[in-house]
Amino acid sequence: MSALMPTGPRWVAVRQHRRALWVPAAAIAVSFPALVALRLLANRPTGAFPRSWQSLERSVMDLASTGMLLLPLLAGAFVAGPMVAREWESGTHRLALTQSTSPRAWLASKVVVAAAVWAVAAALFIGIYRFGWSRVADTYGFSWADRGPYEATGPVLVAYGLLAIALGAVVGQLLRRTVPAMAVTGLVTGLVMLVMGHLRWSLVPVRTVATPFTAYPDQQVPSDAFLRDSGFTTGSGGRLPGWICFERSGNAGICPADLDIVGRYADFHPHAHYWWTQLVEGSIVLVLAATAGYAAFRILRGRYA
């Protein structure tokens, strides 16, 4: 058991930020019983206002989706501000470096402690979110492919947190001011998440269903699939949007001959692509995190070379 206890600079980092490190533990301790209680209330017999509790349950999960997206930003902001920039701002890092602690060990202790706490806390938050999400997964806005549930139910959330921590170590050293470092780290992390969210469904090839014009490919797409695109195919192999016939003729079922439409198509991601997309996206984010971590130690080395 003693082997799991932090020692040296890591013990100092834990001791120094022990109050903040208790925050995720408290959030976990409160959120799971709250979801259990909400589920029990929503399952009450008819006549005991179950629909009101079900509506509340959905609202809570909607807030939880947003909260899960913010968690990596908060982790990165904490590392950038209180853990790194504040020590440069107040000059307390000099005291640590006079205690037989190398600059590399000083920064590594903060990054390792933050990353370890984040990995454990994020895994528990994902498990708790999945418990609540299972009740609303088949409803609008809570599909496995929607922004929020997608990040909150898979390992990609852990990868984003690790990236945010590495970015915090870089930005905290560069700015050396607590509030600006927190703001910039949160902004950069949010931008990366936004860009990756826009690109993620291009990381894995879609599956396509093609049918004659008289058939509808949507009917052949699995009910739990994520439909990406649909429309018409031409005799030359080109594609036209699904609204083109209605725009030209006023009737979606009648297409002018000059369009040369011969069939229909639908592009979709089956549910099986969820884990492939998580794997590819998570790997990209971890590479970015490793790059940012390397940059953080290079910056530190340059200042103490």
Q: Residue 143 region, left (φ>0) first, then alpha (ψ -120 to 50), else beta?
A: beta
Residue owning tokens 């492919």: 145
**202 contact partners, CB below 8 Å, separation of at least 6:** none
pLDDT at 94 over 70: no
Rounded to whole angstroms, the Cα distance separating 85 from 102 reads 18
Mean pLDDT of 22-32: 90
pLDDT at 1: 42
**291 contact partners, CB below 8 Å, separation of at least 6:** 166
pLDDT at 202: 95
Q: Which residue has the higher pLDDT, 134 or 287?
A: 287
Mean pLDDT of 17-45: 83
Q: Which residue has the higher pLDDT, 21 or 297?
A: 297
The region of weakest confidence among 12-16, 43-47, 132-136 is 43-47
pLDDT at 296 over 50: yes
Count other C-beta atoms under 10 Å from residue 90's C-beta.
12
pLDDT band per the 50, 70, 90 thresholds, residue 101: low
pLDDT at 21: 81
Mean pLDDT of 81-108: 74
**299 contact partners, CB below 8 Å, separation of at least 6:** 170, 173, 174
Rounded to whole angstroms, the Cα distance separating 143 from 185 reads 29
Count other C-beta atoms under 10 Å from residue 184's C-beta.
22
CA angle 131, 136, 138 (to 5 degrees): 120
Rounded to whole angstroms, the Cα distance separating 276 from 121 reads 24
pLDDT at 97: 60
pLDDT band per the 50, 70, 90 thresholds, residue 13: low
SS3 state of residue 1 = coil
Q: Which ranges of the chain would DSSP assign to H, the alpha helix?
A: 8-16, 18-42, 50-78, 86-90, 93-97, 103-133, 149-152, 156-175, 178-199, 244-249, 273-303
Q: Which amino acid is residue 153, in one-letter code? A: T
pLDDT at 2: 46
Mean pLDDT of 102-119: 87
Question: What pLDDT, in 10s, does the model give residues 114-171?
Answer: 999 999 999 999 999 999 998 888 888 899 999 999 999 999 999 999 999 999 999 9
CA angle 139, 142, 145 (to 5 degrees): 120
pLDDT band per the 50, 70, 90 thresholds, residue 240: very high
- Give the torsion sign (CA, 91, 94, 99, 104): positive
pLDDT at 56 over 50: yes
Question: What pLDDT, in 10s, does the model give residues 191-211?
Answer: 999 999 999 999 999 999 999
Count other C-beta atoms under 10 Å from residue 71's C-beta.
22
pTM of the model: 0.89
pLDDT band per the 50, 70, 90 thresholds, residue 174: very high
CA angle 278, 280, 281 (to 5 degrees): 65
pLDDT at 3: 46
